[in-house]
Amino acid sequence: MQPESLANAPTSSAADTPLTNAADAPFSNAANAPTTPADEIESRLNCELQQRIGAANYRNWFQQKVRLTIRDDELTVGVGSPFLLNWMQKQFRGNLVGAAQAVLGPSAVVRFEVSAEPLADSAESAAARTTTLSADPVSPATIESPQGRGASREKQRPARGRRFADFSDFVVGGCNEMAFLAASHVCESPGTLYNPLFIHGGVGLGKTHLLEGIYRKIRRDFPALKTLYFTSESFTNYFMTGLRDHTLPSFRQRFRSVDVLLVDDIGFLDSKPATQQEFLHTLEHLLGRNRQVVVTADRHPRLLTGLCEELSTRFVSGLVCRIEPADLETRMKIVEHKAARTNAVLTKQALQFVASRFQNNVRELEGGLNCLANFHSMTGKPVRRADARRILADLERDCIQAVRIPDVEKAVCNLFGVDPDDLRSAKRQRSLSQPRMLAMYLSRKLVRAAYTEIGSHFGGRNHSTVISAEKKVNGWLEEDRSITVAARSWPLHEVIATLKQQLRVS
């Protein structure tokens, strides 16, 4: 849990900048000149990298796909999924270190991380930054990040060139149809029916894409409406800044004067009671005036156990839609759609191969497709099924995620809000025994650990206890039983699906 204090205020990143109607201006070459030392360094780094790895590699792997963040002499490379991280490390670590050292000095270090945030604020959009800001309700020019003043090379002025995903690029299938229809309705008549609209689902399933699509469509169809898009992380940053600088009234005025509020990844407010209260008041203010609010998260509001009761109640008072992992048919449609936007020559069988292999999330699917497109652009040859199989062998291996028993334990404890020591203890009250059985069941299912190993991890229990826990959970699932999470009854299969999704990503 993160203590909520100014000292611990999260880092503001350019991609998190609240973006309003003014934010999505078309890229313009005239605006490309770096305007601050931080921009200049970033721009030099991108040039250096491009020179080292070549334009095709740069386009396929970095542009609009990877977030590069510079802080002092550390370069952080944020990628969209664990296997991409692995791949990027293998392919580009040397060049990244070289580029960082050339620009930041010999002590430069490179760090890789998986970033669940949208990666749209890429090197390219960094180059497309401009300084002009207009009628933003929350203008990045007037609100600094909490650590903005002291930061040396860190980006101090947020980006404006972010390219938002489009509704028309969102492929609809059974897995996301309800969320898509609800989002379409919101775009047609904001603030009338599904309000708030809460969209949840695992990482890489298209929540941010849909939210950005809403942003663009409303902006286009209702230019007079003030539409504000931001992540809950940036809300937290701005709130902290407001507290620190005694500018809360103007902060509130700005956030509460919008017509459409789009908030990505509300889970970031987990265990931040003061920010939650502030957000709750913003929400009530807007909903009370029939202003449209759309929120995304990685799980159902009732399963966001670090959120206050009032907030989750507010969220469920509107429409809650879940996005499921895509089925094969939808994955194929997505792959075809995305492949059509590249110049690569890929056979249908090669695309089918990608769609059948990458099942966890769409980001992985994109990663697979990028590999094939990259192969094509380097060799000029059409990519057939056999090529795809060979090229993707590495990636596939990396996709098999090594979930360990402690990962399961952590996810279960997080969700149920219980202490790991209690989970392993001899205590038998239901609030502990149920999560414990679930943890054992998932350790079997996802880790495929031996009964004895599981038993010994969870408090030195013997293997028959684990077998009986597994049987019990299977029985509950057959009976479609519910389980108590955060003092509420919840369908067990939903709880398990949520845990599985989280473990796949962790």
Q: Enumerate binding residues for Mg ion (CB under 5 A).
A: 207-208
Partner whose binding site includes residue 362, from ligand ADP, Mg ion, none (CB under 5 to 8 Å by kind):
ligand ADP
Residues 331-390 that bind ligand ADP (CB under 6 A): 334, 362-363, 366
Going by C-alpha positions, the residue among 361, 360, 329, 358 that lies closest to residue 172 is 329
| Shortest Cβ 81–ligand ADP spacing (Å) | 9
* Cα–Cα distances in angstroms (integers) from residue 24 to residues 135, 158, 371, 411, in the given order: 12, 13, 29, 37
CB of 127 to ligand ADP, least distance (A): 20
* Residue whose CB is less far from ligand ADP, 206 or 301: 206
Min CB(266)–ligand ADP separation in Å: 12
272-to-106, 138, 297, 306, 346 alpha-carbon distances in Å: 39, 21, 16, 8, 47
466 interface partner picked from Mg ion, ligand ADP, none, CB below 5 to 8 A per type: none
Backbone angles phi, psi at 219, to 5 degrees: -55, -40
Residue number, 297 or 466, with CB nearest to ligand ADP: 297
For residues 363 and 328, give the distance between their C-alpha atoms in angstroms, rounded to a whole number: 15
Q: Edge-to-edge strand order for the sheet containing 74-79?
A: 67-71, 74-79, 109-114
* Number of amino acids touching ligand ADP (CB under 6 A): 19
Does the footprint of ligand ADP cover residue 278 (CB under 6 A)? Answer: no
* Residue 152 DSSP SS3: coil
- Look up residue 408 and give its amino acid: V
Q: Which stretch in 145-153, 203-211, 312-320, 481-489 sits in contact with ligand ADP by CB under 6 A?
A: 203-211
Q: Which stretch binds ligand ADP (CB under 6 A): 6-14, 200-208, 352-360, 450-458?
A: 200-208
Closest separation in Å from C-beta 386 to ligand ADP? 26
In the bound complex, what is the minimum distance in angstroms from residue 265's beta carbon to Mg ion? 6
Q: Which of 153, 209, 291, 314 binds ligand ADP (CB under 6 A)?
A: 209
Give long-range contacts, CB 8 A cutoff, 24+ apart: 359-362: 359/325, 359/331, 360/81, 360/202, 360/204, 360/325, 360/399, 360/504, 361/81, 361/202, 361/203, 361/204, 361/205, 361/325, 361/504, 361/505, 362/204, 362/205, 362/206, 362/326, 362/331, 362/334
Residue 203 interacting partner from ligand ADP, Mg ion, none (CB closer than 5 to 8 Å by kind): ligand ADP
Q: Alpha-carbon distance 102 to 173, whole Å?
A: 47
Which does residue 363 touch among ligand ADP, Mg ion, none (CB within 5 to 8 A, set by kind)? ligand ADP
The 148-187 contact track toward ligand ADP, x by CB under 6 A, reads: -----------------x---xxx----x-----------
Figure out which of the listed residues 208, 227, 275, 498 binds ligand ADP, where binding follows CB under 6 A: 208
Cβ closer to ligand ADP: 341 or 397?
Answer: 341
- Beta-sheet strands, E only, within 144-299: 197-201, 227-231, 260-264, 292-297
Which residues contribute to the site for ligand ADP (CB under 6 A)? 116, 118, 165, 169-171, 176, 201, 203-209, 334, 362-363, 366
